Amino acid sequence: MKRKLYHRFYLTFVFLLLSVGGFCQNKWLDAIGEIHSAQPKTELLGAAGSYFEVAETAQAGDEVIGRVNLAHNSFEKADFEITGGTGAGFFQIEKFVNSRGKHFGILKVTQLPLNSSEYTVKVKAVFENGKTDSEEYAIKRVEVPLAEKFFNFIYSRLSTADRLFFPVADSKITEYLSKFKSGGTFSDLSYGLSKGGWEGLNEGAERINSMAMAYLDESSSFFGDEELKQKVYAALIFNAGEFAKYRTEWYETHLWRNTDYIAGIGINFFRLLRDEMSSPDAGTAQKAVEVYDAILDNCDNLFAERMDERPAIGNANRNHRMRSLAVRAAISYDYNRAITDWELWYDKEDPRIPGFYPTGALGDLMELVETGFVEADTYNNKNGFFPDGTICHHPAVGVQFTADGYGWPWLTEWSIPLANQFKDTPFRAQNKTYNTVAERILDAYRPLTFYGYLDMAAGGLVPDRKKWGNSLLKAVSGLLEAKSAGTVIEREDELRAYKTSLEREGYADPLAMSKAFWNIDYFIQRRPGYFASLKMISERSRGLERGIEKRSYYYLGDGALFVRVNPDDYNNIQYYYNWHAIPGTTAEQRSDDLPPSAVSAYPGANGTNAFAGVVSNGSVGFGALRYERNHTREDALYSTVNANKGYFFFENEIVALGNNVKRVRPGDGADILTTLNQLEWKGDIAFGRAGDDQHETISFSGADAVHHLSAEQEPVWVYHDRVGYVVVPAEGHAVKIDLAAETRTPRWTKETASKKMFQLAVNHGANADDDSYQYIVLPKTTIDKVKTFARSVGNNNIHVLKNEPELMAVYNTEIKVVEAAFYEPGALRFENEKGEEVHLSVDRPALVMMKDNGKNLEFSVTDPHHSTAETTINVAINIKLKGKNFDETGKRTRVAFTHSAEEVYAGKPVVQLFETEGRFITNAESLNVKKKR
């Protein structure tokens, strides 16, 4: 059976605004746009789009699950009769009219036994205007109706969930009741269409929830209190009517604040209300119907959010609104009643969500999940999934990828459980849903996870990130378990292999790779022995939201370089952290509070630099940015530093380069540090100079120590917990280095226990002006290897070719890879491991990585400006490439690398492999370029 039938309908927009009760303002009507005429309302919901079940244990008088509904959200008056079918003698139909005037046909068992597995009934509807319509419906006899299973599932999941369950002490209930007024309001709260009225309505909804929970709580003195229940009912009816006014008068996007409070009552009170709606006492039944409809209407208000957008309801952040929608679907207890009664959503010509047309609660809910995988096609106005595997969230001030707090729930929180609930039913998930979830688990979340721990740069919301491995295993297992018969997951073998890895001790996953997440200026490299990540900011992106007091993550995207050799590195140290000294960043060590970087609307969360990009060939790669936070608004200025920063990842080495480091505003006048690392102090720390035979040690069991070192003629090295750091002096002046091994007391917490911390940084002083730095991080190594590397700087496999404002470049002779960040059009000349002179040039700013495989050259090129106007970068190389024209005069081949003009693809690395014809030619000319000044 098809899960959806798409229909058209007609009701006036005036009815739309009034049908749920209450007066509605028209602030957003122009944005909403025209509501197109629907098809006639005198039709039954078609048989192909309807579903009915009767329990094997049903007795005479029991209701069939699934009511006969009118199509297209019709509020027409109708009478119903059974005119035929195999079940004509076993079932009867009764008309039911809810408190909003909507007509339904209720099928009830009249004769036993029911032995057939399926019955049919032909139903005729006679409308008030004389028109008629007939459909023949099938009724399946089942052991347990799906509606009952689904209600139990939602009840177990949400009845006591955050945001839906607010029990309080009886003394608080007494306080609420003292302020309660007969109309369902509270004397100390404001109401009406205003910001204050909106807040008052939400505060009232939370109180109603608490009062309702007290009524159900056997340990409360209010348990079963009839007077309290009637006040809850009155408040629910008032809240629904008052909230309806906000459908076109928004004061914030979080409409779920109110709907979740009321949905929590709905899921907990449903069985009580269902019994009361069947009460022989007409007054009791009528009031229960009115309260039940008020709860449904209140969930319906959620559809008002962002209704002018396509798709609506928060785009991909719709998941955050699914709690109330799931409750509405569960307590509808009717497969054929649509998940919304709001006419706006029945415009088939211009749907708010493409592909979504409401026809039945369970199918609608699954459709909302499946259409929730919205692709973000811009950096400016849509929450959605980026093509690089990350997400677009809070785009107004730079997108951010909070992998655990948004992207993961968007992807898995409802899709997998609902696919499992509805597998092998008419409401089953489509293949596309399974494949979307599988693809993003494998291509995005797997790379971000190291032995079960999520990367700090993408998962800072969770202080204890070790729970992440279990979340992944649960999702992968759940997705495979949720398959219906006939479901095709294209990468199922790969998914099962990953599941096997996650089932190992410590979630040991041998994945070795590098990956460029170009949409959010993010790069990761992982090997079995270490994990490294780079997170940068730009005009397009920022770091993470939230943090401690919504402040601590201000610098988390400013070139943050996290290197882990232990899965739990950086874990549970947030209260001891110097958040001005995040690894990889260059920042003044100010003493005042960090700004509210986590607040969605904070105008200084993103960078002001256009130049930021990442590039990878799948094995190694690099990233670079022109670091600037030079916002025009005074309240957005906090960072006091500008710099050019580059990060070059190889097999066993990570090279960090910086230049043009300078103070651009006064700040506190404190020192500016480029932090190499800061994490928990574990074991002895060794350090020394490259030319010295001896080194010093800071004993873990000894006293705290702070050392101010200086790299003058030769590198300084430091070793801590299997990671080495080699700081190379800048030509012409010494580099100051601060090494601290200290015991810190916690901040922002009531805890008092201290913790030992390690921090290493290059100190640029308080008045940095055109300063530079160069250091190498050596993960998973030994003291002897670090000392040997430091002594051989300039003669080992790592060659820093350039560290200048126009160009940064590093060449690895061992793997024959050069990585070059051209901040301006320009040329690079260097000698390779064979002594051949290589000439490489570009005509636009570009990130270029070239791997020499002898018989072929592999290029990976990225546009760090993500330009949609200029889409071609011309690269010239002094070697003949098969199939490319060679300039005999200039002795070089010019290759055009063209990227997409689509905004979200413009920064994607372009990777091409070229077969060579001969080796590098000397005396080649560079590509004719003009440098911008």
Q: Does the pLDDT at position 919 exceed 90? A: no
Averaged pLDDT, 867-881: 95
pLDDT at 922: 78
**What share of the chain in percent tops pLDDT 90?**
78
**Distant-in-sequence, close-in-space partners of 135: CB < 8 Å, separation ≥ 6:** 44, 45, 46, 47, 50, 68, 122, 123
Averaged pLDDT, 227-251: 90
pLDDT tens track for 725-753 = 999 998 778 999 999 999 999 988 888 99
Please state the length of the chain: 933
Identity of the residue numbered 409: P
d(CA 321, CA 306): 12
**pTM of the shown model:** 0.92
Is 641 in a helix, a strand, or coil? Answer: strand
Of 117-121, 193-197, 391-395, 771-775, the poorest mean pLDDT is in 391-395
Residue 50 binned pLDDT confidence (cut-offs 50, 70, 90): very high
Which residue bears the tokens 């094995």? Answer: 619
Residue 390 binned pLDDT confidence (cut-offs 50, 70, 90): very high
Q: Does the pLDDT at position 871 exceed 80? A: yes
pLDDT at 18: 32
pLDDT at 228: 98
pLDDT at 3: 42
Q: Does the pLDDT at position 312 exceed 50? A: yes
pLDDT at 38: 61
Sheet holding 68-69, edge to edge: 68-69, 103-109, 91-97
Cα–chain center distance at 227: 44
**What share of the chain in percent tops pLDDT 70?**
94
Q: Does the pLDDT at position 354 exceed 90? A: no
Residue 381 binned pLDDT confidence (cut-offs 50, 70, 90): confident
Averaged pLDDT, 5-13: 32
Of 82-96, 175-189, 317-331, the poorest mean pLDDT is in 317-331
Averaged pLDDT, 863-879: 96
pLDDT at 464: 62
d(CA 737, CA 1): 70
User: Higher-confidence residue: 483 or 21?
Assistant: 483
Are 876 and 856 spatial neighbours (Cβ–Cβ below 8 Å)? Answer: no
- How many H helices and E strands in the chain? 17, 40
Residue 112 binned pLDDT confidence (cut-offs 50, 70, 90): very high
pLDDT tens track for 337-348 = 999 998 888 888
User: Higher-confidence residue: 553 or 801?
Assistant: 801
d(CA 124, CA 484): 35
Mean of per-residue pLDDT scores for the chain? 91
Residue 390: C-alpha distances to residues 70, 455, 522 (Å): 42, 13, 10
Residue 1 binned pLDDT confidence (cut-offs 50, 70, 90): very low
Identity of the residue numbered 218: E
Residue 302 binned pLDDT confidence (cut-offs 50, 70, 90): confident
Name the token pair of 702.
Answer: 């000894």
pLDDT at 926: 62
Q: Which residues share a beta bridge with 420?
A: none
Which residue bears the tokens 């398959």? Answer: 483
Q: Does the pLDDT at position 10 exceed 50? A: no
pLDDT at 551: 85
